[in-house]
């Protein structure tokens, strides 16, 4: 565990047991809110190196190059609070992203003013700064081998699923209400029945038929999951605000020939996200799969067929294919080219061939290729064929041919 001080470890353990919430000092909050109007329109997500309690990590903050909003730099994690100020930085800083002070960004700054209850693992400077920038509560430094994760990830995971489930999840009171669950189509009866959301998986989940959905933001992952469950269990929209965690597990039962099969569908963070670097997204996906999922039955890569697959997107998909052992496990892979609305068969086949070429898909060893279309508000008859084909490939897999998720460090599945 390196040389993290016992004081820090104790403070972290206490934070894992307590409610995952921001707590506010009202006087500080009001004082900081009055400073927000001073921020100019061009903002920067910045980081600078910092060493404290035996850990060297990146301290993240948001600035307009005069004013700064950040989780402060106190020595005792128990007393660190949000700080809004214009004291100049003397240390070398790195600009991670430039962005605009939109109304949504300003709202999020307002939401965190006066907040305390810092935790290196669950509520740190990076979570706060990225939340202001994108609405996403995520710390890339907390991946298993990250600058903070190398000290804190395994102890946090070993502390219990309730604790690891809080990682990279919006704290109270920032959490959104769950979407209102309604059937997508009244006509569907043979679907999987949604039962619950999970933020971390347990050992007893490992025998579930596990489907991992991967693809770029906006490709239609949430829409596809809603169709699989025939229920609006995910918010499907192009806003990143709808993503509350870097990974979400949705569970239910699939009835096949009067037998109920337990199913876990894994919704992941979008590849090629505009607010995170590609490498960071890959690390987040790998880390959350490694930490939670023992076996995968189906990997569904979803591409947005309404746009060209960018080189970065192809690269990210290829890296995940390699990591998940595509060559040896090709039968467990499904490649879906979505948003093929109103195209004839020939054009769909042409587009699929292009996708195969860009992604180096061999399609000789049992993998599956589908062109689909699930536009919002489409009539059931328009999507029925694609939906049945998708369910057919998503749910057929022998337990003898599961993908074992690679783990470099000791297994922490509980």
Ligand X SMILES: Nc1nc2c(ncn2[C@@H]2O[C@H](COP(=O)(O)OP(=O)(O)O)[C@@H](O)[C@H]2O)c(=O)[nH]1
CB of 126 to ligand X, least distance (A): 22
Which among Mg ion, ligand X, none contacts residue 218 (Cβ within 5 to 8 A by kind)?
Answer: ligand X
Q: Return the sign of the alpha-carbon dihedral for residues 223, 228, 231, 233.
A: negative
Residue 221 or 245 having the CB closest to Mg ion: 221
Residues within window 212-241 making contact with Mg ion, judged by CB under 5 A = 221-222
**Binding of Mg ion by 304 (CB under 5 A):** no
Q: Return the sign of the alpha-carbon dihedral for residues 320, 340, 374, 193.
A: negative
Which among Mg ion, ligand X, none contacts residue 341 (Cβ within 5 to 8 A by kind)?
Answer: ligand X
Please list the residues that pair with 57 across neighbouring strands: 50
Compose the 338-377 pattern: x for residues touching ligand X by CB under 6 A, - for all others: xx-x-------------------------------xxxx-
Which among Mg ion, ligand X, none contacts residue 373 (Cβ within 5 to 8 A by kind)?
Answer: ligand X
Q: Return the sign of the alpha-carbon dihedral for residues 334, 243, 342, 351.
A: negative
Which among Mg ion, ligand X, none contacts residue 238 (Cβ within 5 to 8 A by kind)?
Answer: ligand X
**Binding of ligand X by 222 (CB under 6 A):** yes
Residue 156 or 234 having the CB closest to Mg ion: 234
With CB under 6 A as the contact rule, which of the stretches 154-162, 202-210, 217-225, 399-407 interacts with ligand X?
217-225
Q: Residues 188-193: contacts with CB within 8 Å, 24+ apart?
A: 188/230, 188/380, 188/387, 190/255, 191/228, 191/229, 191/230, 191/254, 191/391, 192/228, 192/229, 192/230, 192/252, 192/253, 192/254, 192/255, 192/263, 193/229, 193/252, 193/253, 193/254, 193/255
Find out whether 169 and 199 touch, Cβ atoms under 8 Å. Answer: yes
Which among Mg ion, ligand X, none contacts residue 223 (Cβ within 5 to 8 A by kind)?
Answer: ligand X
Residue 8 or 234 having the CB closest to Mg ion: 234
CB of 214 to ligand X, least distance (A): 10
Among 218, 271, 283, 413, binds ligand X (CB under 6 A): 218
CB of 144 to ligand X, least distance (A): 25
Compose the 327-366 pattern: x for residues touching Mg ion by CB under 5 A, - for all others: ----------------------------------------
CA 98 → CA 64, 181, 274, 401, distances in Å? 10, 36, 11, 45
Residues within window 224-243 making contact with ligand X, judged by CB under 6 A = 236-238
With CB under 6 A as the contact rule, which of the stretches 19-27, 218-226, 314-322, 394-402 interacts with ligand X?
218-226
Which among Mg ion, ligand X, none contacts residue 219 (Cβ within 5 to 8 A by kind)?
Answer: ligand X
With CB under 6 A as the contact rule, which of the stretches 127-135, 191-199, 212-220, 290-298 interacts with ligand X?
212-220
With CB under 6 A as the contact rule, which of the stretches 83-91, 92-100, 171-179, 215-223 interacts with ligand X?
215-223
Compose the 164-203 pattern: x for residues touching Mg ion by CB under 5 A, - for all others: ----------------------------------------
CB of 227 to Mg ion, least distance (A): 13
Tracing tokens 């509980």 back to the chain, one arrives at 414
Helices 311-323/345-359 angle, 10° precision:
70
Residues within window 299-338 making contact with ligand X, judged by CB under 6 A = 338
Find out whether 87 and 68 touch, Cβ atoms under 8 Å. Answer: yes
**Binding of ligand X by 402 (CB under 6 A):** no
C-beta neighbour count of 278 within 10 angstroms: 15
The rounded distance, in Å, linking the Cα atoms of 398 and 390 is 17
Among 146, 149, 270, 291, binds ligand X (CB under 6 A): 270
**Binding of Mg ion by 134 (CB under 5 A):** no
**Binding of ligand X by 217 (CB under 6 A):** yes
Residue 42 or 350 having the CB closest to ligand X: 350
- Please report, as ranges, the residues that interact with Mg ion according to CB under 5 A: 221-222
- Please report, as ranges, the residues that interact with ligand X according to CB under 6 A: 215, 217-223, 236-238, 270, 338-339, 341, 373-376
């Amino acid at each position: 565990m390196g040389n993290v001080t016992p004081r820090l470890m104790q403070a972290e353990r206490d934070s894992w047991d307590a409610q995952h919430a921001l707590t506010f000092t009202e006087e500080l909050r009001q004082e900081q809110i009055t400073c927000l109007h001073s921020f100019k329109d061009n903002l920067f997500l910045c980081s600078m190196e910092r060493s404290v309690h035996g850990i060297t990590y990146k301290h993240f903050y948001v600035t307009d190059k005069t004013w700064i909003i950040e989780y402060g730099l106190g020595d005792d994690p128990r007393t660190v609070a949000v700080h809004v100020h214009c004291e100049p930085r003397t240390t070398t800083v790195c600009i991670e992203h430039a962005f605009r002070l939109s109304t949504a960004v300003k709202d999020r700054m307002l939401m965190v003013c006066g907040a305390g209850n810092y935790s290196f693992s669950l509520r740190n400077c990076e979570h706060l700064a990225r939340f202001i920038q994108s609405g996403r509560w995520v710390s890339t430094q907390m991946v298993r081998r990250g600058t903070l994760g190398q000290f804190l990830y395994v102890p946090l995971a070993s502390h219990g699923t309730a604790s690891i489930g809080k990682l990279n999840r919006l704290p109270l009171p920032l959490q959104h209400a769950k979407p209102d669950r309604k059937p997508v189509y009244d006509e569907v009866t043979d679907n999987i029945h949604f039962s619950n959301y999970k933020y971390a998986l347990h050992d007893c989940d490992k025998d579930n038929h596990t489907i991992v959905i991967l693809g770029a933001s906006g490709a239609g992952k949430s829409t596809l999951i809603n169709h699989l469950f025939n229920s609006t269990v995910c918010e499907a929209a192009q806003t990143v605000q709808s993503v509350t965690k870097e990974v979400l597990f949705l569970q239910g039962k699939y009835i096949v020939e009067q037998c109920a099969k337990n199913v876990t569908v894994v919704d992941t963070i979008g590849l090629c996200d505009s607010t995170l670097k590609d490498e960071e997204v890959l690390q987040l996906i790998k880390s959350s799969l490694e930490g939670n999922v023992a076996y995968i039955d189906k990997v569904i890569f979803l591409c947005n067929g309404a746009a060209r697959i960018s080189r970065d997107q192809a690269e990210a998909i290829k890296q995940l294919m390699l990591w998940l052992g595509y060559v040896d496990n090709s039968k467990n892979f499904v490649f879906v080219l979505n948003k093929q609305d109103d195209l004839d068969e020939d054009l769909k086949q042409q587009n699929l061939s292009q996708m195969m070429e860009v992604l180096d898909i061999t399609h000789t060893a049992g993998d599956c290729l589908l062109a689909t279309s699930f536009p919002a508000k489409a009539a059931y008859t328009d999507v029925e064929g694609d939906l049945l084909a998708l369910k057919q490939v998503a749910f057929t897999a022998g337990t003898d041919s599961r993908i074992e998720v690679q783990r470099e460090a000791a297994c922490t599945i509980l």
